[in-house]
Amino acid sequence: MLVFKFGGASVKDAPGVINLGNVISAYADKKLVIIVSAMGKTTNALEKLTRAYVNGSDDMNGIFEEIKAYHYNIIKELFGDNHPVFDEVANTFVEIDWMIEDEPHDDYDFIYDQIVSIGELVSTRIVNAWLNHQGFASKWLDVRGYIHTDNSYREGVVDWDKTCKSITGDIPSFLESSIVVTQGFLGGTSENFTTTLGREGSDYTASIFASCLGAESLTTWKDVPGILNADPKLFEDTVKFDELSYQEAIEMTYYGASVIHPKTLKPLQNANIPLLVKPFMHPDAPGTIIKENAAYTFTKPVIIVKNNQVLLSISTTDYSFISESHLSEIFGTFAAHHVKVNMMQTSALSFSICIDYSSERFMPLFQALKATFRVKYNDELTLITLRHYTANAVEQITAGRMILMRQTSRNTVQVVLK
């Protein structure tokens, strides 16, 4: 049994959905669970819709109509003017209609999950319809009945025991007669509200299914030839890894490598399930395999770039040393505001932390810290991490830019740049 995950780029248009069907056809003799993300940039568009709804913006309905039109155009190109999936998708979009008719809920993260989750529900309806249209026996499942989480909206914490019990209870029997198509990124609470698992969380969803079902492997189909040492949009002469160990891949995702969600690898490592990263436009290409005992050589540093960073400098109001009790209070404040730390450094009188900027979370965090501490910050920064670095590579990366913070260890250099 295999688990496949298709990202938004792979199903961004009708030719992409058709290509997905072509990829599946090569595995007709296998039992398949297919996890699908929202189409193209739909998640970004739904985030924009969420902000417009919360802020009472005049363009809210226009944004929503554009999202609908984008999906209906794909359906029309695939099926013509008359197919039941039109009604299925329309009925799914009604969930947003119901929400935006009312006044916004006080909890932004709750609103976010109820609206943004619709992207995956719609994309899987279309993919499932296309597979059946092409003669595959394909069964659509609502993942919210299988991935069970707590009420941590936008960062749902998975109840593994309950989740695996649900997955193993139903899905093996479904696989005897059909392909299973379901959503990435989403979960459900005990109150039947929708949660999401963190941005780009479809990889994590796929690893949960693979782990619970004891899959032969998990394959994520990407718009790159495999895992590269750097983003080819930013750097020339990138190199592809044929193999990577779980440990090295976990390190890369921890520092922000976007090709794999950070939570994806641990469930696979625990179950010794290999992860394949393959190009969806060239399905016969080998891609990259991540497994326990991998053979690889770092001929170039791994370079990970995170833009839109904020560097906070936190100090006490009476100029006393930063103590363990201060650090405990600071980290408690970050945890309470669901803000992750990308890099940190302490000195006698200050504690510096680099984080992703979020328009919804940064100012509440800043104000909460200011209640106790003196806080300054720089924004619009870049955090660059180099694994297996060379002095020459670090010099080239930082040339002509102001270094606001730097950390160096045996294998890794991190720099915050202006």
Mean pLDDT of the chain: 95
Q: How far apart are CA 142 and CA 125, in angstroms?
A: 10
Q: What is the mean pLDDT of residues 300-327?
A: 95
Q: How far apart are CA 276 and CA 84, in angstroms?
A: 34
The predicted-structure confidence for 92-107, as pLDDT tens digits, reads as follows 999 999 999 989 988 9
- The upper half-sphere exposure of residue 132, i.e. CA atoms within 13 Å in the direction of its Cβ, equals 17
The proportion of the chain whose per-residue pLDDT surpasses 90, expressed as a percent, equals 90
Q: Is the pTM of this model over 0.85?
A: yes
Position 257 pLDDT exceeds 90: no
Position 297 pLDDT exceeds 90: no
- Cα–Cα distances in angstroms (integers) from residue 302 to residues 132, 197, 236, 336, in the given order: 42, 26, 13, 32
How many residues would you count in the chain?
A: 418
- Cα–Cα distances in angstroms (integers) from residue 73 to residues 97, 174, 354, 398, 399, in the given order: 20, 31, 42, 45, 47
| Residues in CB range of 278: below 8 A, 6 or more apart | 219, 220, 221, 222, 226, 285, 286, 287, 288
Spell out the alpha helix ranges (H) of 80-117. Answer: 85-100, 108-116
* pLDDT of 52: 96
What CATH number has the domain spanning 302-417?
3.30.2130.10
What CATH number has the domain spanning 2-291?
3.40.1160.10
Phi–psi pair at 41, nearest 5 degrees: -100, 30
**Segment (H or E) for 187:** strand 186-188
Q: What is the mean pLDDT of residues 237-251?
A: 93
Q: How confident is the model at residue 258 (pLDDT cuts 50, 70, 90)?
A: confident
Whole-number CA gyration radius for the chain:
22
The predicted-structure confidence for 139-158, as pLDDT tens digits, reads as follows 999 999 999 999 999 999 99
Q: Are 122 and 89 in contact (CB under 8 A)?
A: yes
The proportion of the chain whose per-residue pLDDT surpasses 70, expressed as a percent, equals 100
Supply 209's token pair: 């299914």
Do domains 2-291 and 302-417 share one topology? The answer is no
Supply 354's token pair: 């680099």
Q: What is the mean pLDDT of residues 259-273?
A: 91
- Cα–Cα distances in angstroms (integers) from residue 196 to residues 7, 18, 105, 418, in the given order: 16, 27, 17, 32
Q: How confident is the model at residue 319 (pLDDT cuts 50, 70, 90)?
A: confident
8 DSSP assignment? G
The predicted-structure confidence for 357-408, as pLDDT tens digits, reads as follows 998 899 999 999 999 999 999 999 999 999 999 999 999 999 999 999 999 9
Position 295 pLDDT exceeds 90: no
Beta bridge partners of 291: 245
Secondary structure (3-state) at 6: strand
Q: What is the mean pLDDT of residues 112-119?
A: 97
Q: List the chain domain ranges.
A: 2-291, 302-417
SS3 string of 218-236?
EEEEECCCCEECCCCCCCC
The residue among 361, 362, 349, 404 whose CA lies nearest residue 381 is: 404
Position 198 pLDDT exceeds 90: no
Position 409 pLDDT exceeds 90: yes
The distance of Cα 13 from the centroid of its chain, to the nearest Å, equals 20
The distance of Cα 331 from the centroid of its chain, to the nearest Å, equals 24
Q: Are 125 and 88 in contact (CB under 8 A)?
A: yes
The distance of Cα 363 from the centroid of its chain, to the nearest Å, equals 23
Q: How confident is the model at residue 76 (pLDDT cuts 50, 70, 90)?
A: very high
